[in-house]
Structure 1
Amino acid sequence: MTRTAQSVWENCLDFIKDNIQDQAFKTWFEPIKSVELTDNALYIQVPSKFFYEWLEEHYVKLLKVALTKELGPSAKLLYKIKMENTYGNNVPYTEQLPSSQRSSVKPQEVDFPVTNKSAELRNPFVIPGIRNLKIESQLNPNYNFDNFLEGDSNRLARSAGMAVANKPGGTSFNPLLIFGGVGLGKTHLAHAIGVEIKDKYPEKTVLYISAEIFTQQYIDSVKKNTRNDFIHFYQLIDVLIIDDVQFLSGKSGTQDVFFHIFNHLHQNGKQVILTSDKAPIDMQDIEQRLLSRFKWGLSAELHQPDYETRVSILKNILYRDGVDMPDEIIEYVAKNIKSNVRELEGAIISLIAQSSFNKREITVELAKQIVEKFVKNVKREISIDYIQKVVSDYFQLDLDILQSKTRKRHVVQARQLAMFFAKKYTKNSLANIGSQIGDRDHATVLHACKTVDNLVSTDKQFKKFVEDINKKLSL
């Protein structure tokens, strides 16, 4: 009897079904289609990259055993990943993988175990004058405008991003600074702009980089005495995207070199795109000359998504991943997770996983359990600004008074407590903490922390202050 892709896969499914729970089988294996059998290689089609990654993470051993039983020890499993552009759009396309183009349907070969083939960042120190220099953009094609859903919370930033993508360096939005809290889509939008530019202007050199890596590259250039090569490299870029620019805070050398790179790019009509967790006016320990340039273009804020946008985001995630879920479940999750997109996605994936592994139907009750645990386990980002507000409110002080030079005892103690908790709850350096709390130096912060430690062990009233504020910050 002639073997076909379908017969081989059906035999594999019979084996798999006997070894996992029914709910998991229905969720993760029934949507898979066999495509082609070539020698000892079986091609299967999965609904999305999420499916592929989930199979490789959770069922790779089971798949290997099942396929080996059918095709022998040299068996290989290859994937074709079909995705939808976005929720409500029924035009499919093949996932753009490292070895394929969207216009052609090529499989991604996945042997056991899967290896990460993500490109490394190219060395930024190049010989000046080289033509046709290939610079990897470091963009993630999965972060695009198609799956960055528009709502009231992001309309300005998204529209500005589209304008920049259509005419990089040719709008008044240069630089474009996208700012907002954790998980609201700053990085997604920055990538989407870059991806769109590469699509429209393939000849342009686009580079996405985090401020942290930029800083490390600069430090390395100083050590190796290649600072000029570092600057020259970045002056070659047509569209420079720097993520988390607030990371440059307190790093005077990196700020100085970025200032010169920024000026060169701006003067030559190149586009600069920045993301930050705060607006320029709220950035601490960034040189004024740099802040003034951040304000030259447009600062667009991303807010928390409203209910309708949250529902659309959840539907888009489910549609992307090929998973069906009742509207009442989607609406429950959207009503109860309001903070950011990242938490929304995490909650819905947790819900799918719990249903799959525990063989439970997805109900409102299950959603309630998952959402409660998820929200409880997600720690709120505690910033120095937030700590100062909590301390000021506790002592009924104006923030200006807390940060002032006054030496009144109750104000000094409040200020010291703010410094103490900033050191405890944030990753900021002592210098950064001092800079944000009344423009003090690191020695003042260190002294404040020691004073608080001493008073806690000797002053009962002060100990109560510490306990009360700690509870408020831990809520």
Structure 2
Amino acid sequence: MGLGKTHVMQAIGNQILAERPDLRVLYTSSENFMTQLINSLRQKQVFNFKDTFRKVDVLMVDDIQFIAGKKATQEEFFHTFNALYEAKKQIVLTADSFPHEIEHLEERLRSRFGMGLVADMQPPELETRIAILKNKASGEGLELADEVAFFLAEAIQTNVRELEGALIRVSAYASLTGKPITMALVRESLKDIVKGRDKPATIERIQETVANYFKITQADLRGTKKSRLYSHPRQVAMYLCKQLTRHSYPEIGHRFGGRDHTTVLYAVDKIDKKRNDDAELAETLATLSDMLRR
């Protein structure tokens, strides 16, 4: 799923060993568990197999859902689980769904998986996605502008794997064309990936996107603070509301803290005139518009 389950599991194992290097920690995938079981049966070395998985202090199995529907593997894992549990050892499992949602999983395993601590991993939030991109780019020696990182993080919200894949694609495209990573290059290199993800632009989405982009709160956009730190993003948001939605000036003003329609009209006219002479503002508007159409 690309949510980082494997990384979290490996981090748990590393932390355990850092604090207790004397413990025996075994990490494996469910596929490897099944493969080793099959090989042990063929070679008549079942006892060696059992020693491998039952004489550890911590057993970590990744993607346990893949044993579902496999009778012999479920049978062996059931006994392995019981042996470790009765010996008061630790068991850490990952899956792509909750225990009760794994189809074709034996009920006795389902109940055992569910009796421990179940942690639900959600896709990372915008700020985390931006940080992941920045860290990845830094590790690859890439210069990634804030607006590019923000655009990628907004456009790809599904999982980390797809997000990193998009960055790799952008980097490869830049390398092949000999061009720097700009918004124009990102739009061109990812045009087929983001195609078909269009969402209707609403005032709520515009406020959220603009607030995140300028690193202020949505309350600030709707509030009364007059410094440019808040007034400029507010005017940009009002402009985008008029350009991307069918709401009237009075309706937009109402959603920005009950402002008069003349305030919205002033903001829209100001941004519209300024964007012709301000390349940075024009690029910001284009970036935000692209994100709001995704």
State whether residues 64 and 94 of structure 2, in contact with CA within 8 Å, keep that contact through their aligned partners in structure 1. yes
Distance 2:135 2:149 in 1: 11
The one-letter code matched in structure 2 to 1:238 is D
Shift of 1:269: 2.1
Residue number in structure 2 paired with 1:187: 6
Residue number in structure 2 paired with 1:232: 51
Distance 1:316 1:258 in 2: 38
State whether residues 248 and 254 of structure 1, in contact with CA within 8 Å, keep that contact through their aligned partners in structure 2. yes
Match of residue 168, structure 2, among 349, 353, 374: 349
- Give secondary structure in 1 for the equivalent of 2:120: strand
Shift of 1:291: 0.8
Shift of 1:214: 0.6
State the TM-score, normalizing by the size of structure 1. Answer: 0.40
Residue number in structure 1 paired with 2:206: none
Alignment of 1:246-265 (within 5 A): 246-265=65-84
Shift of 1:314: 1.0
Are 1:272 and 2:91 an aligned pair? yes
Percent of residue pairs bearing the same amino acid type? 42
Shift of 1:375: 4.4
Match of residue 148, structure 2, among 316, 325, 329: 329
Q: Which has the higher strand share?
A: 1
1:264-298, Cα deviation, whole Å (9 max, x unpaired): 11222211111111111111111111111101111
State the TM-score, normalizing by the size of structure 2. Answer: 0.63
State whether residues 100 and 114 of structure 2, in contact with CA within 8 Å, keep that contact through their aligned partners in structure 1. no
- Give secondary structure in 2 for the equivalent of 1:300: coil
Distance 2:18 2:173 in 1: 39
The one-letter code matched in structure 2 to 1:216 is T
Match of residue 177, structure 2, among 358, 366, 372: 358
1:317-344, Cα deviation, whole Å (9 max, x unpaired): 1223332211111111111011100111
Distance 1:369 1:270 in 2: 53
1:391-445, Cα deviation, whole Å (9 max, x unpaired): xxxxxxxxxxxxxxxxxxxxxxxxxxxxxxxxxxxxxxxxxxxxxxxxxxxxxxx
State whether residues 337 and 371 of structure 1, in contact with CA within 8 Å, keep that contact through their aligned partners in structure 2. no
Distance 1:233 1:325 in 2: 46
Distance 1:198 1:323 in 2: 34
The one-letter code matched in structure 1 to 2:114 is K
Q: Which has the higher helix share?
A: 2
Count of aligned pairs between the two proteins? 196
Shift of 1:241: 0.9
Alignment of 1:201-212 (within 5 A): 201-212=20-31
Shift of 1:197: 1.4
Consecutive unaligned residues in structure 2, runs of 5 or more: 197-294
Distance 1:361 1:224 in 2: 57
The one-letter code matched in structure 2 to 1:244 is D
Distance 2:194 2:113 in 1: 35
Match of residue 134, structure 2, among 293, 309, 315: 315
State whether residues 244 and 276 of structure 1, in contact with CA within 8 Å, keep that contact through their aligned partners in structure 2. yes
Residue number in structure 2 paired with 1:284: 103
Consecutive unaligned residues in structure 1, runs of 5 or more: 1-181, 378-475
